[in-house]
Amino acid sequence: MSPPLGKWKAPSVANAGRRNHRKRRRVSVQLSMVGLVVEDMARALAFYRRLGLDIPAEADDRPHVEVRMGNGVTFFWDTAFAKAYDPDREPPSGGYRVLPELFLADRGAVDATYATLTGSGYRGHRAPFETAFGVYGHGG
């Protein structure tokens, strides 16, 4: 059984045969949520707090935590969803599977945050660098 779709409604097909394109509404897809399945909620949230996200300490014991970002996208962490709705899921092994990118004010802020995280014991895959397409960041 699939989880409920919330407030989502299928677009109407009542006007599909009409030729008056000016009156048709375009349905746009917008990113609403990004979720990470985590094994250790407290450890995951500690990392994102160090990045500057405002996450209450009492969230460490919850199976699902959400933070609404300034751009309107909800970022969430979950320890229970996959177990409940996809019991045959096999955890990934080796390497990374997602690349969530969080933007900071400037290069100095990126460098300072990277230094804070690695100085706190988090392993950096690669120090900050500029990509071929002009984005300055780090490789994990």
pLDDT in tens, 73-106: 999 999 998 889 998 988 888 877 787 788 888 9
Whether residue 85 is found in the same domain as residue 36? yes
User: Minimal CA–CA distance to 75: which of 30, 46, 34?
Assistant: 34
Domain that holds residue 86: 32-91
- Determine the 3-state secondary structure of 6 from DSSP: coil
What are the angstrom distances between the C-alpha of 123 and each of 23, 73, 126, 136, 140?
Answer: 54, 27, 9, 19, 8
Identify whether 10 is part of a domain: no
Count structural domains, the chain: 2
Q: What percent of the chain has pLDDT over 90?
A: 51
67/49 Cα distance (integer angstroms): 11
What are the angstrom distances between the C-alpha of 139 and each of 7, 44, 98, 114, 126?
Answer: 36, 18, 12, 11, 5
Of 18 and 62, the structure prediction assigns the larger pLDDT to: 62
Identify whether 23 is part of a domain: no
Average pLDDT, the chain: 82
Do residues 130 and 136 lie in contact, with contact meaning Cβ atoms separated by under 8 Å? Answer: yes
Tens of pLDDT, residue by residue over 65-78, are 999 999 999 999 99
Amino acid in position 50: R
Tens of pLDDT, residue by residue over 27-44, are 688 889 999 999 999 999
Give residue 15's pLDDT: 41
Whether residue 44 is found in the same domain as residue 86? yes
Whether residue 46 is found in the same domain as residue 85? yes
Identify whether 22 is part of a domain: no
* Position 10 pLDDT exceeds 80: no
Amino acid in position 33: M
60/42 Cα distance (integer angstroms): 4
Give residue 99's pLDDT: 78
Hunting for tokens 């969430």 — which residue is that? 76
Hunting for tokens 């690695």 — which residue is that? 118
